[in-house]
Amino acid sequence: MKRLLLGALVVFLLGAVHGTRVAAADDDLYTAFGGKTGLAALMDDFVDRLVIDSRTKPFFEHADLDNLKTQLTDQLCALSGGPCQYGGKDMKTAHQGMSIRTSNFNALVEVLQQSMDAKKIPFTVQNRMLALLAPMHRDVITK
């Protein structure tokens, strides 16, 4: 009986934790980034920097930049709790065969930080978005 109660408690706590997670996935991060307009402007600036920065430039030589901007905007919109659906390739497929190293991934993060700084997004808000993006390193880093 004790065991059963303990089991019920665990299930309840897991449910509570899960519930909190769902509740946390509201749209305040999306709003903090200026909604879809803000994110589109940010991704516009970001991609423009990516193709200029010598560390990230080689990876975008054959990319359709307008499409990239759209896909990234949708992705960050969905990730931050906005009303969007990311319809692009999954991260693993998108980066296959690109020989991306950790240093390249980190360079991209730095460029994103530059863009977020340029758009006057507060550091703490930047970090909330970066925390959502960072786990993608598992699929993006291929080398």
Residues that bind other proteins (CB under 8 A): 55, 101-104, 106-107, 109-110, 113, 123-124, 127-128, 130-132, 134-135, 137, 141, 143
3-state secondary structure 19-64: HHHHHHCCCHHHHHCCHHHHHHHHHHHHHHHHCCCCCCHHHHCCCC
Q: Tell which residue, 34, 7, 55, has the closest CA to residue 116.
A: 34
User: Which CB sits closer to other proteins, 91 or 107?
Assistant: 107
User: Which CB sits closer to other proteins, 52 or 134?
Assistant: 134
Question: Least distance (Å) from other proteins to the CB of residue 29?
Answer: 9
User: Which CB sits closer to other proteins, 71 or 113?
Assistant: 113
Question: Least distance (Å) from other proteins to the CB of residue 5?
Answer: 26
How far apart are the C-alpha atoms of 25 and 80, rounded to whole Å? 8
Question: Least distance (Å) from other proteins to the CB of residue 15?
Answer: 18
Question: Least distance (Å) from other proteins to the CB of residue 122?
Answer: 10
Question: Least distance (Å) from other proteins to the CB of residue 83?
Answer: 22
User: Which CB sits closer to other proteins, 41 or 109?
Assistant: 109
How far apart are the C-alpha atoms of 3 and 64, rounded to whole Å? 58
User: Which CB sits closer to other proteins, 84 or 141?
Assistant: 141
Residue type, 105: F
Residue 103 DSSP symbol: H
How far apart are the C-alpha atoms of 35 and 39, rounded to whole Å? 6
